[in-house]
C-alpha cells in the first residue's frame, strides 16, 4: 500500500493541559482550590495543587525540536508546539503528519488521576468530572471525528469510578485511562474483589481499560543514578508485568467481554510472552489451579488485550504470532519516541519490508482502533478526505520544521530526575 492511501488512527498521544481548562467545568465553589498553572520568574511553568508542585509542565513534549533538546524539558509552554495544548493547532499538526485521529492521555494529573485524590471526596470527584468534561466537550468536541475521547478514573473509589464510566459513556466515551499497578498507588490490586463494580461498568458500556506504561510511577530501574537510557529501554517491561498480572487475574475469567489496551507497551515481546504463559499453564496449572475454561492463556490473551506500537519492526514481522486483530499503531505525539510528522514514511518502509497485506495494514492503522474503541470518524469525515495524502494536502503550508526552542542549558539526566516528576504526578510514596 502506498503511504498516501493509508488511513492512520493513533491510540496513544498526549495532551499538555491549557491553564484555563477548569473554568467552564468545575463548580464555582471549587475554582479557587483548583490546580493552577503558575509562571515562574525563571520562565518555567508549573502546575500547583495544594502542596504539590509538578516540576515539569510539559514533560518530554519535544515534537518539532532538535534531538539535542530532547529530555525532561521543556519547562514552559513557550517552549512547545501550540499543538500540544491547543486542539485547533493539534489538528493542523495531525493533518501535516497524515494522521486522521488520535486518542490523548493526560499529563499533569497522571495517567490514573492520582493527583486529584484528596481528603475531600466530593472535591476530588468534581476535579475528575471537570477534567473529563473539558476533554470530551472542548478538546474532542472541537473537531468531531478527529479525537477518540478518553476519561480519567476515580481511582480512589471503585463504586464512584464505575459511576463515572457510565456517565461518560453516555457522552460517547469508550476508553478509561488506568494504572498498570493499583497496588503501587496504595489501592487494592487487580486480584481484589474491590474492583468488581468497575469491571462490570467497563463491560456493560463496552469501555476499554487503557493501561499506559509508567502509570503507577514504578519503573524497573537498577539504581537511582542510572542513565535515562536504562529507563527508556526498560519502559515496555512494566507493561509486561501488567499483562501477566491481568491475564492470570479472576476478572479475565469472569468477564469474557472485558477489553484492556497495553498502551505504549510495544509488541515485539508478545510472541515470547504468549509462549511463556502457555508453558506456565501446561507445567503448573494442576497445582496453581488456573482454569481458562478449556482454552490456552494465549487464546484468552487475544480475546481481551489490544497491543500498541510506535515503531516496532519485530512486532510487525511477527504479527501473525501476536494476532493482527490485536495490534494498533500509535504516534506518541508530542513525546520523543514519536514518529511525527514522518509516520507514514516509516510505516510504509516497515510494512513493505515484511510484505504486509493491504487488509492487514488497514487493521493495524485504523480498523482495529475503530472496532476496539467504538469510534467511527467516517460519520464526520468522508473516507476519501481521511487518507494520508488528502490530509497532507489540506495542511499545505503548515510549518513542521525542526526548531530549537529551549531557553535553558541542557545537562545529563538521570532516573532520579525523572522519578521526582513521576512521583509528584502519581502520588507514589517512598
User: Is residue 311 one of the residues assigned to a domain?
Assistant: yes
Beta sheet of 175-178, edge-to-edge order: 175-178, 208-212, 259-263, 305-309, 327-329
Range(s) of the domain holding residue 91:
3-424
Mean pLDDT of 147-156: 98
The x, y and z cell numbers of residue 357, run together, are: 497485506
What whole-number distance in Å separates Cα of residue 331 and Cα of residue 103? Answer: 10
| 3-class SS of residue 341 | coil
Residue 299 has pLDDT above 50, yes or no: yes
Residue range 43-63, pLDDT digits in tens: 889 999 999 998 777 878 889
Provide the pLDDT confidence category of residue 219 given band limits of 50, 70 and 90: low
Q: What's 11's domain CATH number?
A: 3.20.20.140
Whole-angstrom CA distances from 227 to 2, 68, 81, 423 are 40, 16, 27, 18
User: Is residue 430 one of the residues assigned to a domain?
Assistant: no
Residue range 411-424, pLDDT digits in tens: 444 445 545 555 55
User: Is residue 393 one of the residues assigned to a domain?
Assistant: yes
CB 375 within 8 Å of CB 147: no
Mean pLDDT of 187-209: 98
- How many CB atoms lie under 10 A from the CB of residue 203? 16
What DSSP designation does 105 have? E
What local confidence, expressed as pLDDT, does residue 422 receive?
Answer: 53
The x, y and z cell numbers of residue 356, run together, are: 504486509
How many domains does one find in the chain?
Answer: 1
Mean pLDDT of 74-78: 83
What local confidence, expressed as pLDDT, does residue 228 receive?
Answer: 79
The closest alpha carbon to 324, from 273, 355, 368, 366, belongs to: 368
For residues 79 and 140, which has the higher predicted lDDT (pLDDT)? 140
Residue 220 has pLDDT above 70, yes or no: no
Residue range 180-194, pLDDT digits in tens: 999 999 999 999 999
Mean pLDDT of 18-22: 95
Mean pLDDT of 356-371: 98
User: Is residue 429 one of the residues assigned to a domain?
Assistant: no
Residue 31 has pLDDT above 70, yes or no: yes
Residue range 284-297, pLDDT digits in tens: 999 999 999 999 99
What DSSP designation does 115 have? G
What local confidence, expressed as pLDDT, does residue 302 receive?
Answer: 98
Mean pLDDT of 255-275: 97
Please report the DSSP string for 153-214 in residue order. Answer: --TT-HHHHHHHHHHHHTTT--EEEE-S-GGGGTS--TTSGGGHHHHHHHHHTT-EEEEETT
Give the whole-number percent of the chain exceeding pLDDT 90. Answer: 79
Range of weakest confidence among 48-57, 88-97, 110-119, 374-383: 48-57
User: Is residue 185 one of the residues assigned to a domain?
Assistant: yes
Mean pLDDT of 4-20: 97
Residue range 381-417, pLDDT digits in tens: 999 999 999 999 999 999 999 888 776 555 444 445 5
User: Is residue 299 one of the residues assigned to a domain?
Assistant: yes
What local confidence, expressed as pLDDT, does residue 35 receive?
Answer: 96
The x, y and z cell numbers of residue 223, run together, are: 539504581
User: Is residue 298 one of the residues assigned to a domain?
Assistant: yes
Amino acid at each position: 500500500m502506498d503511504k498516501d492511501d493509508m488511513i492512520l488512527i493513533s491510540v496513544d498521544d498526549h495532551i499538555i493541559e491549557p491553564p484555563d481548562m477548569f473554568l467552564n467545568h468545575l463548580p464555582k465553589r471549587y475554582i479557587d482550590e483548583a490546580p493552577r498553572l503558575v509562571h515562574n520568574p525563571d520562565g518555567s511553568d508549573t502546575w500547583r495543587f495544594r502542596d504539590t508542585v509538578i516540576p515539569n509542565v510539559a514533560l518530554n513534549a519535544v515534537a518539532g525540536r532538535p534531538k539535542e533538546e530532547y529530555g525532561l524539558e521543556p519547562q514552559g509552554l513557550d517552549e512547545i508546539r501550540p499543538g500540544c495544548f491547543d486542539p485547533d493547532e493539534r489538528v493542523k499538526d495531525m493533518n501535516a503528519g497524515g494522521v486522521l485521529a488520535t486518542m490523548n492521555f493526560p499529563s499533569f494529573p497522571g495517567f490514573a488521576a492520582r493527583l486529584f485524590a484528596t481528603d475531600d471526596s466530593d472535591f476530588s470527584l468534581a476535579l475528575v468530572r471537570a477534567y473529563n468534561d473539558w476533554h470530551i466537550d472542548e478538546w474532542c468536541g472541537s473537531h468531531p471525528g478527529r479525537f477518540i475521547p478518553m476519561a480519567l478514573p476515580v481511582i480512589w473509589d471503585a463504586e464512584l469510578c464505575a459511576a463515572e464510566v457510565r456517565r461518560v459513556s453516555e457522552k460517547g466515551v469508550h476508553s478509561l485511562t488506568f494504572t498498570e499497578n493499583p497496588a503501587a498507588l496504595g489501592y487494592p490490586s487487580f486480584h481484589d474483589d474491590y474492583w468488581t463494580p468497575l469491571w462490570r461498568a467497563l463491560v456493560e458500556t463496552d469501555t476499554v481499560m487503557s493501561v499506559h506504561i509508567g502509570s503507577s510511577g514504578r519503573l524497573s530501574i537498577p539504581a537511582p543514578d542510572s542513565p535515562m537510557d536504562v529507563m527508556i529501554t526498560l519502559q515496555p517491561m512494566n507493561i509486561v508485568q501488567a499483562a501477566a498480572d491481568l491475564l492470570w487475574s479472576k476478572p479475565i475469567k469472569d468477564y469474557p467481554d472485558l477489553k484492556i489496551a497495553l498502551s505504549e507497551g510495544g509488541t515485539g515481546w508478545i510472541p515470547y510472552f504468549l509462549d511463556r504463559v502457555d508453558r506456565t499453564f501446561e507445567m503448573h496449572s494442576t497445582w496453581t489451579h488456573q482454569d481458562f475454561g478449556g482454552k490456552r492463556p494465549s487464546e484468552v490473551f487475544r480475546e481481551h488485550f489490544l497491543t500498541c506500537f510506535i515503531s516496532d519492526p519485530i512486532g510487525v514481522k511477527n504479527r501473525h504470532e501476536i494476532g493482527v486483530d490485536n495490534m494498533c499503531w500509535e504516534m506518541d505525539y508530542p513525546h520523543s519516541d514519536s514518529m511525527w510528522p514522518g509516520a507514514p514514511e516509516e510505516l510504509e518502509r516497515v510494512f513493505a519490508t515484511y510484505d504486509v497485506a493491504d487488509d492487514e495494514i488497514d487493521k493495524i492503522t485504523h480498523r482495529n482502533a475503530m472496532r476496539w474503541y467504538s469510534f467511527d470518524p467516517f460519520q464526520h469525515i468522508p473516507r476519501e478526505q481521511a487518507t494520508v495524502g488528502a490530509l497532507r494536502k489540506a495542511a499545505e503550508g503548515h510549518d513542521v520544521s525542526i526548531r530549537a526552542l529551549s531557553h535553558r542549558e541542557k545537562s545529563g539526566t538521570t532516573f532520579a530526575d525523572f522519578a521526582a516528576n513521576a512521583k509528584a504526578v502519581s502520588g507514589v510514596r517512598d
